[in-house]
Amino acid sequence: MSAVTSALALSGLHAAITGGGSGIGAAVAQRLVAAGARVSLLGRSLDKLQGQAAALAPFGQVDVCVLDVADEASVKVAFEQIGAVDILVNNAGQVETAPLAKTSLALWQAMLNVNLTGTFLCSREVVAGMSDRGFGRIINVASTAALTGYAYVAAYCAAKHGVLGLTRTMALEFAKKGVTVNAVCPGYTETDIVARALDNIASKTGRSTDEARAELVAANPQGRLVQPQEVADTVLWLAQRGSGAVTGQAIAVCGGELML
């Protein structure tokens, strides 16, 4: 995309990004602001949101709003505050590891609450307005865990599989309303979540962090971690007005780890 096209692609559109204070969410915010969107950063940490908003302020209009995606009342208040949304990026997520036999009900529920219920609650707040206006883009940042299984993250995988099912259902319900709903499914990405996973692997196995990283990237044919900006570029493509024929899709951004 040329610089001119990029600057105009999302002009006049309002994008809301959950988990927008760091990682993939921050990279997405950068791309959408550069493409002309007004961006609302949503998340639990006001400090992170404000820091990211300050970094993006020279490039466009950015505001922040604190919310807990797993709390219905918090979601409702936040979306009332930020106003009509044209592009929703459901990026907030959390992962905790445990063998299935040691997965507590509390851990299970926490993973579903943040990763699946949060996507449902936020989407529900925007779909009516999008339908009424005849335009909308909902982009769910899922994971390759929505497309396959990984050991020791049963709750996370189940939640992300649920996100994909929700994506396809919403895509069908709103197909004639000008609203598209898609899932972006990154592989292991250079984020704080993966950094914590590497530390966890190292502490539990006695390996170095570099050895743990090598284990993670071994499944990637490109032999590397995905970069947040690469995920953000896929989100930007789906967010544009010209992507209207793409809906109900799960797009793997994983260096060829999965080929669907």
**pLDDT per position as a tens digit, 47-98:** 999 999 999 999 999 999 999 999 999 999 999 999 999 999 999 999 999 9
| 156 annotated active-site | yes
Structure tokens at 230: 């690469």
- Spell out the domain ranges in the chain: 3-253
Count Cβ atoms within 10 A of the Cβ of residue 129 and give its class: 0-12 exposed, 13-18 middle, 19 or more buried. Answer: middle
Spot the catalytic one: 150, 152, 156, 188: 156
What is the per-residue pLDDT for 6? 56
User: Is pLDDT above 80 for 201?
Assistant: no
Instruction: For the beta carbon of residue 45, count every other beta carbon within 10 angstroms.
Output: 14
Closest CA to 181 of 246, 125, 133: 246
Structure tokens at 75: 């979601």
Count Cβ atoms within 10 A of the Cβ of residue 54 and give its class: 0-12 exposed, 13-18 middle, 19 or more buried. Answer: exposed
| Residue 4 pLDDT class (50, 70, 90 cuts) | very low
What is the per-residue pLDDT for 17? 98
Structure tokens at 164: 């994909």
Work out the end-to-end distance of the chain between its first and last CA atoms, rounded to an integer number of angstroms: 26
What is the per-residue pLDDT for 1? 39
| Residue 7 pLDDT class (50, 70, 90 cuts) | low
Across the range 119-130, mean pLDDT stands at: 98
What is the per-residue pLDDT for 191? 79
Structure tokens at 15: 């994008």
What does pTM read for this prediction?
0.92
CATH superfamily of 3-253: NAD(P)-binding Rossmann-like Domain (3.40.50.720)
The beta-strand segments (E) located in 136-178 are 136-141
